[in-house]
Structure 1
């Protein structure tokens, strides 16, 4: 398959920083602080002239979340913003598909990522979204849960504060906009290394990506990942693992690993998924 012409912008979240509960299914919208990253989202579309569809399906308070994003994008000069809470009734409606077809890009809010999978996978909306991403200069952005849903294997839930123990993470399929990847968010602030590492051990041929708050990756061609924002993104690889007890370990037993690779990306550094290497930007 040819490389997609669109862009992906997974954001590590920050709008939920005042609500630290591990269960993001009831994440309450609070005031934004990451407008720098959101400005980049608009810039990757058509700037202030962008037509943005904000998908609030993951949120426990979709109307409030939608209003907040309408206000935030409005402050950045973008006035053509529509909020959509996709449900079983409206996800394939004529109006919804018209909005999707007219938009320059989508923005998936935070909340509970399993709602996105339940409501959007295997729908006409999903088919059109993927077709536009593959064949057009179409941007799909998402924060927190909205970023996690982009990957092929998606973390449903998992203990963040435990050591690396077998069985602390539960996975399901994601949108697979970025094949053979696993994405986690709020990576440093919520101590999610262990759950991302186990998710990778379950899917050893994948690349695991942990994105910090107020930080994003701009993915072009389904391959080149450029870092923006104030934090870092961490990339884990299992290809070179020499020794691990993961297969033999019993549930909740500690895991040892020799040879797992880690790369840390910040502004000025990019990463090629196909070549599995970091690329430093020229100044």
Structure 2
């Protein structure tokens, strides 16, 4: 049985949509294995008696079924029994099916692949983007992502197709997020992209098999975060006097304030 290891910090983020209400919950997994304790905490964020997880595999060009099977298997291990799916949005039938599934879902999970493919779908259909934003910010549906599904949650998104930052979902405002972080030696990559980001943005690097769970307090407007699993998280803070402080968040039981 794995020991629950966590580091808790607070990240004050004010740039949320005007219609945001309640508590938002966001789980970021860096790719690889999904820590079971993280999935348990994420599922518990919605008190629904029978969780129904919508698995979105838009990011995958050719492994949609494999991602669905893998994510489903992990969630079944912790007791989830109901699933909905969306593999692509190429016609009105797929769009209507997604909208219907979104209205039923208690949780939303984005698979890996290419974060650009996710944003291509949403940028081409503002209605879909609005419905997804309302599900998270207004209806408080917990969202999770792994690999590309993690990168897309940032306000400014790293992609494999360009050297420039692009807009992501913004479910974690004022952030740039990188994944497969220490495993693929991406420390300097994140530092480089943070030079492009506004000074008040924070960079977050999530390693493979690692995760960080964010919960937004509706009163304080803070995203309180817990590092779950056995892998470290790297954080590059906002600019202060043209300098960004870096921290490594280790999975421990101690609490600390971020910057």
TM-score w.r.t. the length of structure 2 is 0.80
Q: 2:200 aligns with which of 199, 205, 209?
A: 205
Q: Secondary structure at the match of 1:236?
A: strand
Residues in 1 aligned to 2:201 and 2:114: alpha-carbon distance in whole angstroms: 23
8 Å Cα contact 2:84/2:105 also seen in 1: no
Alignment counterpart, residue 265 of structure 1, candidates 231, 249, 252: 249
Distance 1:189 1:77, change over 3 A: same
Gaps of 5+ in 2: 1-17, 217-221
- Change in 2 beyond 3 A, CA 1:135/1:270: farther
Cα pair distance change 1:265/1:191, threshold 3 Å: same
Q: Which has the higher contact order (CA 8 A, sep 6+)?
A: 2
Q: Secondary structure at the match of 1:260?
A: strand
Note if 1:130 corresponds to 2:133.
yes
SS of equivalent residue, structure 2 residue 172: coil
Q: Structure 2 CA distance, aligned partners of 1:108 and 1:234? A: 22
Q: Which residue of 1 aligns with 2:186?
A: 192
Query: Hey, what's the Cα distance between the residues in 2 that align with 1:84 and 1:152?
Result: 23
Distance 2:167 2:32 in 1: 24
Alpha-carbon distance between aligned partners in 1 of 2:230 and 2:177, rounded to the nearest angstrom? 18
Task: Tell me: CA distance 1:126–1:271, structure 2 relative to 1, closer, same or farther (3 Å).
Answer: farther
Q: Please, which runs of 5 or more residues in structure 1 have no aligned partner? A: 16-32, 159-167, 243-258, 278-283
Instruction: Classify 1:217/1:3 alpha carbon distance in 2 versus 1 (closer, same or farther; 3 Å).
Output: farther
Aligned to 1:225: 225
Q: Which residue does 2:4 correspond to in 1?
A: none
SS in 2 for 1:45: coil
Normalising by the residue count of structure 1, what TM-score does the alignment of the two structures yield? 0.73
* CA RMSD after TM alignment: 2.5
Shift in CA distance, 179/270, structure 1 to aligned 2, threshold 3 Å: farther
- Where 2:144 maps in the other structure, the secondary structure is strand
Establish whether residue 5 from structure 1 lines up as the match of residue 23 from structure 2.
Answer: yes
Segments of 4+ in structure 1 off by > 6 A?
Answer: none
Residue aligning to 2:83:
81
Change (3 A) 1:187 1:74: same
CA distance in 2, matches of 1:48, 1:188: 37
Aligned to 2:56: 55
Does 2:38 align with 1:43? no
Q: Closer, same or farther in 2 for the Cα pair 1:232/1:91, shift >3 Å?
A: farther
Q: Spell out, residue by residue over 1:225-264, the C-alpha distance to the aligned partner (whole angstroms, 9 max, x if none).
A: 222111121110241254xxxxxxxxxxxxxxxx430122
Question: Number of residues paired by the alignment?
Answer: 232
Deviation at 1:142, TM superposition (A): 0.4
